[in-house]
Chain A
Amino acid sequence: MDHERELLKRARSGDTEAFDEIVTSHRTRVYALVFQILRNEDDALDLTQDTFIRAWRSLDKFDGRHPLATWLHRIATNAAIDLIRRRQARPQCELTDGPMAVDPASRTTPSSTEVPGAALDRRDLRAILDRALASLSPEHRAVVVLREVEELSYEEIAERTKASMGTVMSRLFYARKYLQTLLKDAHEEF
C-alpha cells in the first residue's frame, strides 16, 4: 500500500512510468468488472483504457480516503453504465421487471444434456453461470455484478447506476430469481 502511495505521488507529478505500474496492478480487475457488465471484449477493452486515461487526468481529485481500486472501479462502472445508457442497450433476452420474466420453461434453461446427473466440475458450473449472466440485460447484469462481486450496498448501486432504490431492488430481485431458475438443476451439484 505504501508502494502504491509512492507510485501515486510520482504519477501526480507527471511520472508516466509510475502510472504504468498502477495500470499493471489494476488492469485485470478493471477489465473483468467492465467485461462482466458489458459482455463484449472490444467494449470492455476500450472502457478499461478509457478508465485509466480518465484516472490519469483526475489524479489530483483522488483524495485517498478510499483504496485506489475502489476509485478506479467507480470510474469504470460509471463509464460502463454511461455506455449502456447511451446505447439504450436492448436486453439480449426479454427479461423485464414483470413476473413473466422468470420462466422456468425458457429456452435458455440449461437442458438435461448440458447439466448431466454426473457431478459437474467447477469449470462447467462457471460456464453455466457465465451463459446465464450473458442472457441478462446489461442493466440487470450490472446490478448483480455490483452487488455480488463488488459487494456494494444498495445505495451505492443506486448511485452508480443512476437509478432509484426501488429500481435497484427490483432489478436485483428479478436477476436473482432468473439466475436461480436457470441454475436450479446445477444447484444440486454445488
Chain B
Amino acid sequence: MKNFESTFNRWVDGDLDEAERREFEAGLDAETRLAAKAWPATRALLKETARTISLPHPDFLNEQIRREIERKPAPAAAWFPLRRLLLAGACCVAAAVVLTAFFLPLQNHAETVVFMAETSSPDTSASAFQTPGARGAVIWLEGMPYIPGEERVQ
C-alpha cells in the first residue's frame, strides 16, 4: 500500500516516466483517473485561496512586534556583550598565567630569610640564609683568615 501511495503521489505530480505512468494507470479505476486529472485545477485553486487570505489588523501586528523587539536587546547589542564577556574572560586567564609565572619565583625568593650577623673583626662579615621548609641554614662568612678545624664542614 505504501508503494502505491508513493507512486500515486508521483503520478499526480507528473513525476512518473512514460512506462511507469502507463503501468500505473492501467491499474486505476476510471473515477480515480478522472479525479487525478482534475488535480492541477485543485492545486491552482489552493494557491488562489492562499492568496485571498488577508491579515487582520496588519499595523497592529507590526506594533506588537516592534514593542517586543525593542523590549529585548537588539541582535547586535546582544552579540557584543557576549563577545566582550568571552574576551574579558580570556584576558583574565592570560593575565593570571603571566602573573603567576612572574611572581612564583619571587615569592619563593621572598620566603628566604636573610640574617646579618655582627663579627668581632671589622674585616669579617657574616650572613645567614634560611628558607622555610629547608632542613638547614646557610652561614656565609667573608674575610676570615682561617676557619678553625672543628667548625669546618666535613
Residues of A within 8 A of B (CB): 11-14, 16, 19-20, 23-24, 27-28, 31-33, 35-36, 41, 45, 48-49, 52-53, 56-57, 59-60, 122, 125-126, 129-130, 133, 144-145, 148-149, 154, 166, 169-170, 172-174, 176-177, 179-181, 183-184, 187, 190
Contact = CB atoms under 8 A, between A and B. Distances in A.
Interface-central residue, A148, A174, A177, by most chain B CB under 10 Å: A148
Interface residues of B, number: 43
B46 interface: yes
Contact of A14 (B31, B42, B55, B76): B76
B42 A27 contact: no
A148 B55 contact: no
B99 interface: no
- What is the predominant secondary structure among interface residues of chain A facing chain B? helix
A125 B38 CA distance: 13
Contacts of A126: 45, 48-49, 52
Interface string B4-18: 011011001000000
Contacts of A170: 2, 5
B69 interface: yes
Contacts of B50: 32-33, 36, 145, 149
B75 A148 contact: no
Interface in B123-153: none
B35 interface: yes
B62 A23 contact: yes
Given A27-B61, A148-B47, A187-B35, 10 more contacts: A14-B77, A23-B62, A53-B68, A126-B45, A130-B49, A149-B47, A169-B9, A174-B5, A187-B34, A190-B41
Contacts of B12: 176
Given A14-B76, A28-B54, A173 B9 contact: yes
